Amino acid sequence: MYEYNQNFFKDTQGYLFAVQGEKIEKYRRTHPNADLISLGIGDVTLPLAPVIVQALVKASEDMGNAQLFHGYGPYAGYEWLRSDIIEHDFKSRGVSLDLDEIFVSDGAKSDCGNLCELFSASNRIAVCDPTYPAYIGANILYGRGGTFDMQKDVWDDIVYLPCTAENAFVPELPEKTADIIYLCFPNNPTGVMISKERLQRWVDYAVKNRALIIYDAAYEAYITDTDAVHSVYECEGAKECAVEIRSYSKVAGFTGMRMGYIVIPKTVRNEQGSLNALWGRRLGVKYNGAPYVIQRAAQAVYSSEGHNQVMEQIAYYMNNVRYIVQELKKLGYTVYGGKNSPYAWLQTPHGMSSWDFFDYLLDKAHVIGTPGSGFGPSGRGYFRLTGFGSYENTVKAVDRIRKYIG
């Protein structure tokens, strides 16, 4: 008789965005005429930039031409894309990388999850609290959670790194040693950035404790501070202890296109060997590369025209989130973020719980946000709104909050 992986039965309340989606679906069914505005799940709303569409159409036409058709591609992605990545995302920041240190994938969520396969169950992971829930969700499936404490809302084998107003949402080094540390900056959900000096402290910690940092830089393109660190590899020693995850979802509106990449320097290794080689083995056995046409579309992001067009879109979203932060502050809300990221992180009014505020906002204002408690216990009493709506909807949503919530 076949038997399941028991870790799949370790469940809590389900994946945040799935639960949120069900609630919204139910509300829609019972209120079919409600004009809902979503500032909830971090999905983009602007269409792909013209240069990207052109590249996608051209690649699609290539696929119908015997001379230009592309079948199976390299598991790690085409070299022309990987060399553009190195040139534009890293060399420009003073970071040098080799082609075989870049692995193109079908997105950061997949990479986050799949990385978990490479490690033994015994590793202790550390996550920011609040955090993007997929980091924990995937580790649970690989037996690294321990037991879930319903009251504290934590897994007892996981090290939570509180990110609160008191520490300006930047985590302190942990007391309990962690083997694998997830850091995401600009942060989802709080929207804050880490300084290079603080990030260097984490790199030093990892080198000293022979820990691995998984640095999620999915929102890197939203950084506006001129002195901010864009890649973990700007820190000394990071090439010995860190992998970096990037995504085209938020840079170029690729949420429905599915593409990201992971950087694994060959110098990231422990006594057992090189992580880069392990990832390569995984790809050889379980993956066949990302679609040719999507890789061509991603390449267009690096053309000067493409860069200008996506930066215009990012400026549009940033304008939205700045508007949210500014107007909610006027209403007396305590709001963070909205500077180097598309997220506003606010305290719920009148001490409401995150989910109560979700329901209240949905019902009274027909505005969808994301409950902070879904990102971890330190997110309790917080709420996330995003700048990914249209400007018109953003203004309308804020108007409704002003009118119906106050």
Q: Does 405 bind a copy of itself (CB under 8 A)?
A: no
Dihedral of CA atoms 13, 41, 243, 225 in degrees, nearest 10, equals -130
Q: Does 106 bind a copy of itself (CB under 8 A)?
A: yes
**Taking CB under 8 A as the rule, which mask of x and - marks residues 194-213 in contact with a copy of itself?**
---------------xxxx-
**Taking CB under 8 A as the rule, which mask of x and - marks residues 342-361 in contact with a copy of itself?**
--------------------
Q: Does 64 bind a copy of itself (CB under 8 A)?
A: yes
Among 199, 257, 328, 362, the residue binding a copy of itself under the rule CB under 8 A is 257
**21-50 positions binding a copy of itself, by CB under 8 A:** 41, 43-50
**223-242 positions binding a copy of itself, by CB under 8 A:** none
Shortest Å, Cβ 18 to a copy of itself: 5
CB 377 within 8 A of CB 152: yes
CB 215 within 8 A of CB 198: no
Shortest Å, Cβ 253 to a copy of itself: 8
Size of the site for a copy of itself (CB under 8 A): 84
Among 12, 73, 352, 404, the residue binding a copy of itself under the rule CB under 8 A is 73
Residue 119's identity, in one-letter code, is F
**281-320 positions binding a copy of itself, by CB under 8 A:** 281-282, 284-294
Residues 204 and 181: their CA atoms lie apart, in Å, by 13
The DSSP secondary structure of 171-222, one letter per residue, reads PPPPSS--SEEEEESS-TTT-----HHHHHHHHHHHHHHT-EEEEE-TTGGG
The dihedral through the CA atoms of 368, 151, 155, 211 has a sign that is: positive
Q: Does 266 bind a copy of itself (CB under 8 A)?
A: no
Residue among 9 and 226 whose Cβ is closer to a copy of itself: 9
Dihedral of CA atoms 379, 211, 195, 168 in degrees, nearest 10, equals 20
Residues 195 and 161: their CA atoms lie apart, in Å, by 17
Q: Does 122 bind a copy of itself (CB under 8 A)?
A: yes
Cis peptide before 130 (omega within 30 of 0): yes
